[in-house]
Amino acid sequence: MESTSERQAHETASMPRKIAIIVHGGAWAIPDSLEARSRAGCKNAARTGYDILVDGGTAMDAVESAVRVLENDDVFDAGTGSVLNADGEVEMDAMIMDGETLNTGAVAALPGVANPISVAREVMDRTGHCLLVGQGAQKFADMWGHRTVPVDRLVTSGARAEYEAYKDGSYATPVADLFNGSDAAGHDTVGAVAVDDQGHVACATSTGGITMKRPGRVGDSPLVGCGGYADDLRGAVSATGHGESLMRWGAALRCLADLEQRQDAARAAGVACDADACAAAEHTLQGMLQRTGGRGGLIVVTRTGDVGCFATTPRMVWASAKGLPGQTEPHMCVGFEQADCTAQKTAMNDLKR
């Protein structure tokens, strides 16, 4: 008799292969002045990842490359767009996870590197560890040739202005303003999830943190099950928002558990088991808001190639690209408002028919 995992793997293998990637550039009250750049940056990242997938590349390579694009764009709070902690310094967090093997690598409180997601990938590929932090992470990055970047090149004038505005207050003030209020002034995490033509999924998440965080503070982004999770038997998730809330809720893993329940229900009902990724994300985040009071956003890809997203913040910028192996021009969606998640769900459902 087949086990549940064996049955799921058999069902996935018998389905038509789809390749898909969805990326996000953070969930917060993104001002109108950043809308065009945020949309363009996410679209560029999604297309970069899709081009890798359509050439037969792995989901791991696609999400790493997509997140590098976002880290190199200073409109986003990751890599070259990072913010300052209470000491006026940069400390970045990142993680990447392979859904085939469940291997993962992460860095936290990492200073001075332009692309922390690639250092996280090195941790996964070159060590027996899952997470390196602080100066240990910096030494490891130096060992493998990841260039050190001066703080002045990582932080924008906007991030410095934000630091000046909040530096005489407490950490609670930027948290309330940036994530849990209606008039945010800052920006947040980036991430990507993908499924390749072999049916393998991966996730990647990277952040420059929250303005005025205490030195040494680590958020959800580098933590497995919180800032991201990937499992070939279910799918992959990347999270964004208030880190402490996402950690307390175990948001990424909880979302995949919800997704699995929906897959099981569809299978029991004898209907197509293309799971509702948007509904899983929404249910997870609404539960987090009710239990913790924290807001955020999630992007999801299923093992069968469906994508979804949801946010409880005023806005979340995201972009998705989806197609069949060999399809060089993908179906792309780009979103900014909460309503765009519903439009994305409708568009992607159309591709199932």
Active site residues: 189
* CB-based contact 62:192 (threshold 8 Å): yes
The answer to whether 20 and 301 are in contact (CB under 8 A) is: yes
Phi, psi (degrees; rounded to nearest 5) at 231: -150, 120
Dihedral sign of CA atoms 278, 284, 289, 290 in order: positive
Place of tokens 């990647």: 204
Q: 183 Cβ partners below 8 Å, 6+ apart?
A: 29, 177
Return the structure tokens found at 193.
Answer: 């999830």
Backbone angles phi, psi at 239, to 5 degrees: -110, 160
Output phi, psi for 206, to 5 deg. -145, 145
- Nearest Cα to 226, choosing from 256, 194, 201? 256
Q: Label residue 322 exposed, middle or buried (CB < 10 Å: 0-12, 13-18, 19+).
A: buried
The region, left, alpha or beta by phi > 0 then psi within -120 to 50, assigned to residue 293 is: left
Asked if 42 and 319 count as a contact pair (C-beta separation under 8 A), the reply is yes
Nearest to 188 by CA among 206, 214, 212: 206
Q: Which residues pair with 205 in a beta bridge?
A: 95, 191
Instruction: With H, G, I as helix, E, B as strand and everything else as coil, classify residue 222.
Output: coil
Region for 241 from its dihedrals, namely left if φ exceeds 0, alpha if ψ lies in -120 to 50, beta otherwise: left
